[in-house]
Structure 1
Amino acid sequence: MENVKIIDASPEGTVTFDFTIDKRYANQNGVVHGGAAGVIFDMCTTTALGPLAKPGFWERVGTTVRIHSVVMQVGRTMALIRGTMSSQDGKTVYCTCEHHKVAVPTLKENLEQRVEWDKQWDAKGAKL
């Protein structure tokens, strides 16, 4: 990726990047898309683990995991949700996340767009 610059890396398991967020990583409202942020973190944090991994270390295909999410905080414009992916018995935690969900005002031109399920929301009296 041309917009990534490695600043520091070590065999002990750390890495630092500079990464330019451009419009390819934004949603319709012009802010970084949460999915893009998740993939960026996934790729960048995984490189820190590379020097410590062993053969077979990450082979979990076919494993049934339990995903538990907890709302930690809700404010006027932001919420924090913590997620844990573990074995079904809870003895092994495979990964965790913190999801910062931001309420971004929808652009007027996006509010004018309608999809089929909007009729269902309108019928239930939901506010758009």
Structure 2
Amino acid sequence: MEPRKWKAPRYTSELLNIPGMAFDVHIPDPKARIQAYIDSYDAPDMKGHKGFDEDFMRKHIKLENAWSDGQSAKAVFFLKVVPEYSNRMGNMHGGAMAMIYDMCTTMCAAPLARDDFWVFGGVSRTLSVTYLRPVRSSMDILIECEVLQQGRRLTTIRGQMKDKSDGSLLSVAEHNKASIEFVNPKV
């Protein structure tokens, strides 16, 4: 019996038409570009979609500010920790924290996107989170993110969560992402 040769199907460019898949590279202001991405989760044709990140993007994350010099980008987000992201001890669940870092660090890279360069936020290669202090339910936190390096295929983004009331550092993360090349659909 001959060994089976398995190859994953290629992603087609049609996927980029789904709201929340691509950054709008025609919005020049970094903050407005990230906000447009957040707002895309409320697109009318996506209201029934129940993805893992939908509730977070639609109801909970708030963009405070964003900056870019064309080589690097920074963004700050606000989140009130809700019970849905907490464990039975009343602390934010580590998996929820990782999802929040995944989304926020990805959005931080949006200001660097341009036609044919990181239009889609890429896919995670590694996401490392170090938990320093408990994040209590109903706590107000800031998520500060910075693109450290972005090349044609790989990017590295750092994130940190802080207690908004006193600035204490709650956790840190490093997110390495890979870009995806989308192929044109076969007709």
TM-score range normalised by the length of the shorter chain: 0.3 to 0.5
Q: Which has the larger radius of gyration?
A: 1
**Whose RCO is larger (CA < 8 A, sep 6+)?**
2
TM-score by length of 2: 0.32
